């Protein structure tokens, strides 16, 4: 089965509701003809509901940036899967390196979230990737293996097919320093082979996105790599023109 590319924008802690509505509308309009890929927007929590209204009846998919594994309860500051489902969210980013770095996310908590998401109607976009220090120490394959094994622990072959992975080398996030297409491809191929060791054939169907300073100028070369199935975009998704330039990489 062909792997439909995914171009996802992570708005992080940016955009008021008014700004979010304007950006979502512009992306929706500009992406209307983009049948070659799935376009995903991940606004901050306050903007999810109004953006859901903009995206209704469009091909653009709404995602959240994180979710708690419990369905509800006394967890001040958290958001649950039923809350996201109820407003039409279809995907959720899990284990972004900023969550790991600043908010104590570990492979174990990633795994709890991933399992909960797989029990819901949403699809997880699971982020993995090494730091500069780890790469320079030659530990990048070990680190990514550990994140994959821990984050996807206990998953069945069938549930693997609902997962989207995002390889985001931490040294390339927000730094303007993109991994070369060849460096990214090497890691993507490694991830796919690790998945096939653990889960078999189905690994060929899993979409693996690249993230780290993706821009209109570098997306096409990344997308030409055989194991790169899309992009998770930070900075360049905050303006409609640059995000649409990435979405239309094949123009």
Kindly list the residues in this chain that would bind ligand PEP in the complex (CB under 6 A).
Answer: 10, 168, 173-174, 211-214, 232-236
The continuous run of DSSP H or E covering 7 comes out as strand 6-10
- HEC letters along 100-157: HHHCCCCHHHHHHHHHHHHCCCCEEEEEECCCHHHHHCCCHHHHHHHHHHHHCCCCCH
Given the residues 96, 140, 188, 248, the one annotated as active site? 96
Is the dihedral angle over the CA atoms 191, 93, 34, 233 positive or is it negative?
negative
Q: Is 38 helix (H, G, I), strand (E, B) or coil?
A: strand
Q: Which is nearer to ligand PEP, 167 or 199 (CB)?
A: 167
Check if the beta carbon of residue 193 is closer than 8 Å to that of residue 223: no
Say whether 168 is catalytic.
yes
Check if the beta carbon of residue 21 is closer than 8 Å to that of residue 47: yes
CB of 66 to ligand PEP, least distance (A): 13
CB of 170 to ligand PEP, least distance (A): 9
Angle in degrees, 0-180, between the axes of helices 107-118 and 140-151, rounded to the nearest 10? 40
Q: Which is nearer to ligand PEP, 14 or 139 (CB)?
A: 14
CB of 216 to ligand PEP, least distance (A): 12
Name which of 96, 137, 108 is nearest 13 in CA terms: 96
CB of 234 to ligand PEP, least distance (A): 2
Integer CA distances (angstroms), 197 to 109, 122, 128, 147, 215, in order: 23, 26, 18, 15, 33
Q: Is 237 helix (H, G, I), strand (E, B) or coil?
A: helix
Q: Which is nearer to ligand PEP, 196 or 225 (CB)?
A: 225
Q: Which is nearer to ligand PEP, 99 or 248 (CB)?
A: 99
Given the residues 98, 168, 188, 248, the one annotated as active site? 168
CB of 99 to ligand PEP, least distance (A): 10
Say whether 85 is catalytic.
no
- Measured from each CB, the residue nearest to ligand PEP is 234
**DSSP 8-state assignment for residue 60:** P
Residue found under tokens 């060849």? 182
Report the catalytic residues: 96, 168
């Amino acid at each position: 089965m062909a792997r439909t590319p995914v171009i996802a924008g992570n708005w992080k802690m940016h955009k008021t509701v008014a700004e979010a509505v304007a950006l979502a509308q512009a992306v929706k309009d500009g992406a209307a003809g983009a049948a070659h890929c799935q376009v995903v927007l991940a606004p901050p929590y306050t903007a999810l509901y109004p953006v859901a209204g903009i995206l209704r009846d469009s091909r653009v998919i709404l995602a959240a940036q994180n979710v708690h594994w419990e369905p509800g309860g006394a967890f001040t500051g958290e958001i649950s899967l039923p809350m996201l489902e109820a407003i039409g969210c279809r995907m959720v980013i899990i284990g972004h390196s900023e969550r790991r770095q600043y908010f104590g996310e570990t492979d174990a908590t990633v795994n709890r979230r991933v399992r909960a998401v797989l029990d819901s109607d949403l699809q997880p976009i699971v982020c993995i990737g090494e730091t500069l220090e780890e790469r320079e120490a030659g530990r990048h394959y070990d680190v990514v293996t550990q994140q994959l094994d821990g984050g996807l622990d206990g998953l069945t072959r069938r549930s693997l097919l609902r997962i989207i992975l995002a390889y985001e080398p931490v040294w390339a996030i927000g730094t303007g320093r993109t991994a070369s297409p060849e460096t990214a491809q090497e890691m993507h191929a490694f991830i796919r082979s690790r998945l096939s060791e653990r889960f078999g054939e189905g690994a060929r169907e899993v979409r693996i996105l690249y993230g780290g300073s993706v821009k209109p100028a570098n997306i096409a070369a990344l997308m030409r790599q055989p194991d790169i199935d899309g992009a998770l975009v930070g900075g360049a998704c905050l303006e409609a023109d640059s995000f649409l330039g990435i979405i239309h990489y094949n123009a």
